[in-house]
Structure 1
Amino acid sequence: MNDQPYLIPAQSVQFEEEIKKSVFITHLAHTPSIDSAKAFVEQIKTKHADARHNCWAFVAGRAEDSMKWGLSDDGEPSGTAGKPMLAQLSGSGVGEITAVVTRYSGGIKLGTGGLVKAYGGGVSQALKLLQTIEKKITTQLQLELDYAFMPIVQSLITQFEAQEVSADYSDQVKLVVDIEQRKVNDFTQAVINKSGAKALVTPLKAN
C-alpha cells in the first residue's frame, strides 16, 4: 500500500471554449470513488441532456492507479475523446477526479485529430484552473498507558502531528489517535522507547 499523500481537487471547475462552431464545456469534480465518479457523469449528462456528446474520464484513486480509471467516447469516434481526457487526468498527478466534456456540435466536422485536441485540450485548460489540496493517508492507533506517561505521549502526539480521536480514563488511559500511515513506525517506536516499553500501541484501521 502506498502511504504517501497525494493531491485531490479542492473544488469543482468548469472551462468553456468554442472550436469551429462546436461548444466544448469541460467539468472537473472531486470524486473519491468509482461510484461517485459515475454519479457525477450522470449528473452532467442530465444537466446537458440536449448536448450531442457528454464524454468522460475518471481517476477514482491515485493518479497512477489504473485499476480505478474509466472513460467513454459517448458516440464520438473511438479513441478521440475519453482516451485523451484520461491521459490529461492521469498525467496531472491529481487523484480522485472526474472530467466530463459536453459538446454542443456546430455542424462542422473537426476530424479525429481535431477531436483529440479539443477534448484533451479542454481538460488540460480546466486543470490549470483547478485548486488542489493534499490528501494524507492515515490510520488509527490505540494507545494504552499509565497516567504517568501522559505528558510524554501528548508531546509525541503533537510532534508527529497526530489527532486524538477518543480518550478513556479508567485504571489506565486508552487513547485512539489518527496518524499518517507513513509516520506509524517512527511514532510507535518513540512511544515504546520513551515509556520504557510500558505503553502499548495497537493498530486499528486505515482510512
Structure 2
Amino acid sequence: MSQTYPVPAGSAETEIIIKKSRFIARAVPVGGRETAMSELARARTDFPDARHHCFAYVIGKPGAATSAAMGDDGEPSGTAGKPILNVIHHKGIGDIMVIVIRYFGGTKLGAGGLVRAYAGVTEKVLAQLEIVEHAPESTCSIALDFAQEQPLRHWADQNGAHVDAVEYGSQVNVTLTVPDAAFEALRDFAGAAGLVISRD
C-alpha cells in the first residue's frame, strides 16, 4: 500500500506586483496531465490578455511523482517553470498545479528578478492553500445479488468508498473505489455475505 501524502483540498489564488508587473498565481488540485492541461487552458481563457501563462505540476506522491512538468511560456528558459516547480517540491505537495499569469509592467526584471518573482508568488499562494492528506485508494469489482446492492451502497457510504459503476445482468456487478485503510473491512463485509472481491 502506498503512503499518504499532502494534496490541495481546493484551489487558491493570489497576486504580487513587482515594478508594475502583475504576477497572479493560481494553485489547483490535479489528478493527471489531462486535467492539468485543461486548467492551463482555463487560465488562458480567464486572463487572455496576459503576456505569460507559466506553470508547473506534480502528479502523484512528491519525490516519487508519476509525472512532473513545467513551462516558461516565453519567459527566459529556467526563470519561471523551474522556480515554480522547485517551490512545489520544497513544500512536498502532490497532485497539484501552480499556474502563474504575468502581465508585463514595462520594466525588465532580469533573470534573477524573474526567478525571485515566480518563486515568491508560488510561495504566497501555497501558504494560502488548504492541505489535506491523500488517502491511497484501490478499485475493486464485486458480483452480488440484487438484494445485496443496497447493503453494499450503505457500507460504501459509511466507509468513505464510492460506487463508480453498476452493471445489471443475471447478477449486479459493482465497481467500487475503496480507501486502502477500509479494504480489510470490505473483505470482512463481503466474506460475511458470501461475495467475492476482485481488486483491480
Shorter-chain TM band: 0.7 to 0.9
* CA distance in 2 between partners of 1:32 and 1:164 (Å): 17
Query: How far off is 1:31 after superposition?
Result: 1.3
Q: Which residue of 1 aligns with 2:198?
A: 203
Which residue identity does 1:26 align to in structure 2? Answer: A
Query: How far off is 1:28 after superposition?
Result: 0.8
Query: How far off is 1:91 after superposition?
Result: 2.4
Q: Deviations over 1:65-110 (max 9, x none)?
A: 3441111111111000000101111222221111111111111111
Q: CA RMSD in A?
A: 3.5
Taking a change above 3 Å as real, the CA distance of residues 141 and 5 of structure 1, as seen in their structure-2 partners, is farther
Structure 1 residues not aligned, in runs of 5+: 145-156, 166-173
Taking a change above 3 Å as real, the CA distance of residues 184 and 121 of structure 1, as seen in their structure-2 partners, is same
Task: Name the SS of the counterpart of 1:37 in structure 2.
Answer: helix
Taking a change above 3 Å as real, the CA distance of residues 51 and 177 of structure 1, as seen in their structure-2 partners, is closer
Q: Deviations over 1:34-78 (max 9, x none)?
A: 100011011111221211111111112222234411111111110
**Percent identity for Structure 1 against Structure 2:** 34
Task: Map 1:30-109 to 2 at 5 A.
Answer: 30-109=29-108
Taking a change above 3 Å as real, the CA distance of residues 175 and 70 of structure 1, as seen in their structure-2 partners, is closer
* CA distance in 2 between partners of 1:61 and 1:44 (Å): 22
Q: Which residue of 1 aligns with 2:122?
A: 123
Task: Name the SS of the counterpart of 2:199 in structure 1.
Answer: strand
Structure 2 residues not aligned, in runs of 5+: 145-154, 164-172
Which residue identity does 1:38 align to in structure 2? Answer: M
* CA distance in 2 between partners of 1:175 and 1:69 (Å): 33
Query: Which stretches of structure 1, 4 residues or more, deviate above 6 A after TM superposition?
Result: 174-177
TM-score normalised per structure 1: 0.72
Bigger radius of gyration among the two = 1
